Amino acid sequence: MATLEPGSKAPVFTLMNQDGEKVRLADFKGKKLLLFFYPKANTPGCTKQACSVSNSLKSLKRLDVAAVGISPDLPDKQMKFDLKHKLGFPLLSDADNKVARAYGAWGEKSMYGKKYEGIIRSSFLIDEKAKIIQAWYKVKPDDTVPLVLESLS
């Protein structure tokens, strides 16, 4: 699994959000971006992570940081996730995992001794010029926002 390092150029993307609209990395030019990958909408860890980001949107906005979540879920499932938890930020569908692979957020995982490929919960802080400020792989759901805030303090 190739990983991104601070100073790397963030891989570009264009993905559909929960409203069926295209969202591009370029849409966030001039702002910092918290981009996080999660395995599956409405699962306990992913809900905890997304709600933590949602609850921190005001703090992130004060630091001029936008937030975007990406998973393999289709836009309609992302919409249900957003509505159920009132998340209030873009959730993008990466059904073919191309963007996850580009960010190094796709790879081998293990559950109950069985190996398989899937999303590696990862978070990225991207600067105003689309460069990686920080990359966190195998991040815990509760740590996503604190790591970003600590990185910016």
Catalytic residues: 46
C-alpha 101/C-alpha 51 separation (Å) is 24
- List the one residue out of 126, 103, 106, 147 whose CA is nearest residue 3: 103
Terminal Cα distance for the chain, rounded: 30
CA distances from 75 to 13, 68, 69, 114 (A): 16, 14, 12, 29
Number of Cα atoms under 13 Å in the Cβ half of residue 81: 32
